[in-house]
Chains A and B, each alone.
Chain A
Amino acid sequence: MLPLSYFNYYLALGAVLFAIGAVGVIARRNALIALMSVELMLNAANLTLVVFARAQHDMRGQAVAFLTIAVAAAEAAVGLAIVVGVFRNRRSTQLDDLTMMKH
């Protein structure tokens, strides 16, 4: 019982968004952009969940997506607070500047 083929487009979109987000976290050097990329990844996962739920005629995936939105919001709040904390200490949000503990 594979999902109908058009679901695959959505799944592919989810995968591409996820990959873009992942590359963003790894490649971009600004904390805020990295945070946004993480949000993108979470939403890509959400999309995938919803698509699977739809394909399987099951509500569970949709419900998980809601939970994820809450989780993402909490993460964003904490993340922004931490960015502010870093900014206060060193007036920069560039990740390359975080080198106090390199050995």
Chain B
Amino acid sequence: MSWILTLTTFLPLLGALVCLLLPREEVGLLRGVGLSVALLTFLFSLGILSGFNGQTAGFLHEVDLPWVQALGIRYHLGVDGISLWLVLLTTFLMPVVMLSSWSAIADKVREFTVAALVLETGMIGGFLALDLFLFYVFFEVMLIPMYFIIGVWGGERRLYAAIKFVLYTMVGSLLLLVAILYLYVKVHQATGTWSFAYADMQRLVLSEREQLYCFAAFALAFCIKVPLFPLHTWLPDAHVEAPTAGSVILASVLLKYGTYGLLRFALPLFPHAVAEVGPLLAALSLAGIIYGSLVAYAQRDIKKLIAYSSVAHMGIVVLGLLMLNTKAVNGAIYQMLAHGISTGALFLCVGVLYERRHTRRMEEFGGLWAQMPVFAGFFLIFTLASVGLPGLCGFVGEFLVLAGTMSAGRTAFADVPLFGKAHLYAALAATGVVLGAVYMLWMFQRVMLGPNENPKNRKLRDLTLREGMVLTPMAVMAFWLGLYPATFLRDMNPAVHRTLVAFKEKYSAGAADAEPRMLGQDKNKKEEGQPPAKQDKEEGQPPAQQPAQPPAASPPGTGATP
């Protein structure tokens, strides 16, 4: 089944090429092709689920082929319980997005379809890449189509928003490239082979200083993407100016790259730096939670309000990741999925309103409940999901993160100062959650309840069949995620557990003194054309362990079902 990942990744690109060859007048055909490619990709991506049995901690369906042999760059894809659901989230959302932009994107349909499909390839590939070079390529490939989606089909200030989006992301990603290159050179120093492999990078132990610098580069790149509090200023602009499809993709998937990158790369590769800078990041994520909620409360543009709510929600995710225990990290990933569904769906709802009224200002609306009851129902579901009502998707993740944060001081390593104030973190984060309920419900009230006074709103049509088809799957997922979290946690948990075990192993092995060294000893790697002279660098290290493949640990109870 190793072809399944390649197929899922590149099918959209193939679709994009097909669309490029179609005549641009054939708007209906183009939309159809776009939608069916996205649907087909979703169907194929379901195949990835096979092989996951709730015990699988490592990577499945791996493909590992040389790409640029001379430089040790490999085409290495693999999926584990962490990336699994993010990939499925992506493939699930793309058909929805395609369908939602059926009438919203009337101009340059061919270009839109191509951009969206190329973007999908980038997004899927990035989640699956296990070679840091490959990851970087996918990470960058996502940038340009998104730039086009914001810039071509966006609102009035789209140029500004698009270029701001690109420049912010580029700042981080170029630093990321330098850090990756640095690691790559260090792996070469330690083993004598050129390799970008994730496994090798994970075994590489650097000195504390080096870790700090590299972590800074990684964390900056990913925190801009999240976006973490002081780096978030591109997000409201990008969201407000982007077309609905762009906002949905941005909120549901692209932001996840920030947190995914932190969990997959930044945290496990530099444990000592995390121990040092973790409190700062945790403080920033808390600041983001509170700040995002307060600023959201002050917004009059619905889209901007949701954008700021994203800042708060993603702050919770970052906080959960930093707590480094199974419960909180599981919660963080769960919250990533939930945020993808609920916020994406809210943006879709705003899109529905915008298509009818061409405004997103709250004071223009009011009392829509009577006018558009079906739509109001959906809107209520997603609002409550975002707020975190039990039974809907938002609750599980937030609960797990808060619970994990509360207990972080007990479960994580004792000598890390990060966890000294874990109770305080939890309390502040909980405040943020409450604030979240306030502004979301307030927004719902302003838009949906009260008298319908604006004459322009008297003639609004309720959802069309197509819009219903767009929102229904999102609602189903919101309930599924809320009511039966075990579906998702089952396969997530072992992978999270393995990541944390590896983190702890690397942490307790201590930082390197001056020369980089490798954790554990992989005999096979060494004998593949190594100058044996390098062997002596391996002296004086802890007994060989194999962090990449820990014994299939029985996952500890996570409090999965609240």
Q: Do chains A and B touch in the complex (CB under 8 A)?
A: no
